[in-house]
Structure 1
Amino acid sequence: MLAKHKGHVLVVPNQHFDNIYELPLEYATEIHRAAQLTAFAMKDTYRCDGITTRQHNEPAGSQDVWHYHLHVYPRYKRDLFYFTKGFQTNPDKRVIYA
């Protein structure tokens, strides 16, 4: 059974940057400020056990969308996050965290 990560958020700049190498420092600062605020909101709202952020660069780094973005995931003990490989199945068959 795959875990559902309730509240997964993407932080995306309005201006185009392919990846982290092109991202200006002032954008990086604001993106991480938004990610931090999101993480606090997730902890408060979902009562999750932790937070994971992910950002991929270049094909060898698993980048498959050529626009910089940062994923913010709420995490739970034994949530099988790293076994999902980023793919989800039918939402009705996913684990729901209350």
Structure 2
Amino acid sequence: MYNHAPEGYDCPFCRLAAGGEDHLTAQHDIVLRRERAFAFVASRWWPNNQGHVLVVPTEHHENLYDLPAAAGHAVHDVVREVAVAIRSTYGCEGVSTRQHNEPAGYQDAWHYHVHVFPRYADDNLYNTRHLAEPATAAEREPYVRRLTEHFDSIRKASG
């Protein structure tokens, strides 16, 4: 419908869903995987909101306009699980979610995704831009570990 991906777009989220990696995101960054959606600690960080997570559908849908209801529900369910996990493990005071569509809407990856941010008093999230350099694997690792341990404990408790 309203698509902006260039011809031959090599989707990094599809690559990750299929088991691949790139210079920004690796399989070990994935903290939760469900049949229709998965979540990973993003490499793009904001100054006061490090460790934010992206939730994406496993199938390629460029934006909200193209997203089938079942995929949207699956993403929303994972967003909720991730929000609870971030709130439980990061020591933050709240959580915000954001989702962008089209260039004017600040979308720059052509696969639907939802940002889940840890929030802190006076963190200034909406008045800052992301950091110029991506977070390294070593910087992401403590956040990946916290979230993975959280989800592992839930799996063990539910039998």
TM-score class, shorter: 0.7 to 0.9
Residue 23 (structure 1) aligns with? 67
Bigger relative CO (Cα 8 Å, ≥ 6 apart): 1
SS of the aligned residue for 2:87 comes to helix
Aligned pairs, number: 89
SS of the aligned residue for 1:12 comes to strand
SS of the aligned residue for 1:52 comes to strand
- Would you identify which runs of 4 or more consecutive aligned residues in structure 1 move more than 4 Å? none
From the two aligned structures, give the one with the greater helix fraction. 2
| Percent of aligned pairs sharing the same letter | 47
SS of the aligned residue for 2:82 comes to helix
Distance 2:83 2:62 in 1: 24
Give the drift of 1:33: 0.6
Unaligned 5+ segments in structure 1 are 92-98
Give the drift of 1:64: 1.3
Aligned with 1:81 (options 108, 116, 125): 125
Alignment-mate amino acid for residue 13 of structure 1: P
Aligned with 1:46 (options 90, 94, 97): 90
Distance 2:47 2:131 in 1: 8
TM-score between both structures, scaled by the size of structure 2: 0.52
Instruction: Report which of the two structures shows the higher radius of gyration computed on alpha carbons.
Output: 2
TM-score between both structures, scaled by the size of structure 1: 0.81
SS of the aligned residue for 2:50 comes to coil
Q: 1:89 to 1:4 in 2, by over 3 A?
A: farther
Cα-Cα RMSD: 1.7
Distance 1:5 1:29 in 2: 26
